[in-house]
Amino acid sequence: MPPEPQPAAPLAAPPLAAPPLAVPPPSAPAATGVRLPWEGVPAPVRTRAEERWGAAVVSAVTQSGGFSPGVAARVQLSDSRRLFVKAVGPEPNPRSPGFHRREATLTAALPASVPVPRLVDSLEVAGWVVLAYEEIAGRQPREPWSARDLARVLRATEALAERLTPAPPIGAPSLAEDAGFRRWRLLLEAYEAGEAEAAATVAVLPAWAGDRLAALAEREAGWPEAVAGATLLHCDLRADNLLLTRDPGRPVVFVDWPHAATGAAWFDVVGMGPSVLMGAPGLRPLLDAHLTARGADPTAVATVLVGLAGLFLTDAARPAPPGLPTLRPFQRAQGEAALAWLRASWGGV
């Protein structure tokens, strides 16, 4: 493996508004949900899938990473073929099948040069969505992240952005138009209106954020300009959505694409950063150096971190979605890491 790049100084940024937050603890929550084993899928669904594949499933090893309440398993068929299978039904989370449908549509439309698993089959039976991919021999980045794994993934994200600029015409939405990144404004308005739910959310925010709702809402308003771009982005990069392989042609494979959108070429690095730093805060200089080398505007990076923190922290204050009991602590840790990174490297608000 080539030598790891040496961190460079981050781009110049305005003075910090306050001393940096304490770094998140190394025992950050893992991106792991409650998986369903293949045998837990209704028999008619499994039978239909095996008929399409032309062979029976003889073994299925559940993979723990990720939050979907459905199946994620490495499967061996009776004819010795191997697949990676995902399957989810309308219970316990009715939104999950929609994510699988969108993932199948987008993945199938990606150019062949993009390092993603090839979609072998997709089917729907009785409200269940089943996806079968080629099995990729590889491992996820180890957590807490190492500098070596992070440097490898950063190189791969840059290469991925080059391949996906301009974005192929696959119907991906614009990240600049995503209404999910105006959480600080909505929270501020509800809080000033005296809504009890907003007051409860503000009460559990990190104190630095709770004291600066207006400033965060103002910075967040620049989201559309900050993320504007012509690159197709993954928009959900974390260790559990990456596979490190021994294939020199695709040393990193990017999986799970339901949230793909178009935007700034460097966005995926900023979006992934909090999940890295919440367990390995010492890797911040490596992320900063990479963004600097790619010419990311510091004001835009700060705005993106504000928007991400608003999304993560306000979602974390809500009850857990059905079937995803571990999601909220992970979002909270990401939100706190995003604020810490913002204040330490990109000038606060």
Q: What is the DSSP string of 64-83?
A: -BB--SSEEEEEEETTS-EE
Both tokens assigned to 76:
């061996």
CATH number for the domain whose boundaries are 147-345: 3.90.1200.10
Stretch(es) of the chain classified as CATH 3.30.200.20 = 38-134
pTM (2 d.p.): 0.89
Name 83's Cβ contacts closer than 8 Å, sequence gap at least 6: 53, 74, 75, 77, 120, 132, 133, 134, 135
What pLDDT was estimated at residue 317? 97
What pLDDT was estimated at residue 179? 87
What pLDDT was estimated at residue 183? 97
Stretch(es) of the chain classified as CATH 3.90.1200.10 = 147-345
CA distance 270 to 341: 10
Res 9 pLDDT > 50 = no
| Ramachandran class of 196: left when φ > 0, alpha when ψ lies in -120 to 50, beta otherwise | alpha
Q: Give Cα 43 distance to the centre of its chain.
A: 32
Query: Looking at the domain 38-134, which fold is it?
Result: Phosphorylase Kinase; domain 1 (3.30.200)
Average pLDDT over residues 118-137: 97
Question: Using CA atoms in the order 62, 232, 180, 16, what is the torsion angle rounded to 10 degrees?
Answer: 100
| Mean pLDDT, all residues of the chain | 91
Average pLDDT over residues 197-215: 98
What pLDDT was estimated at residue 30? 66
Question: Using CA atoms in the order 322, 201, 275, 345, what is the torsion angle rounded to 10 degrees?
Answer: 170
Burial of 161 (0-12, 13-18, 19+ CB in 10 A): buried
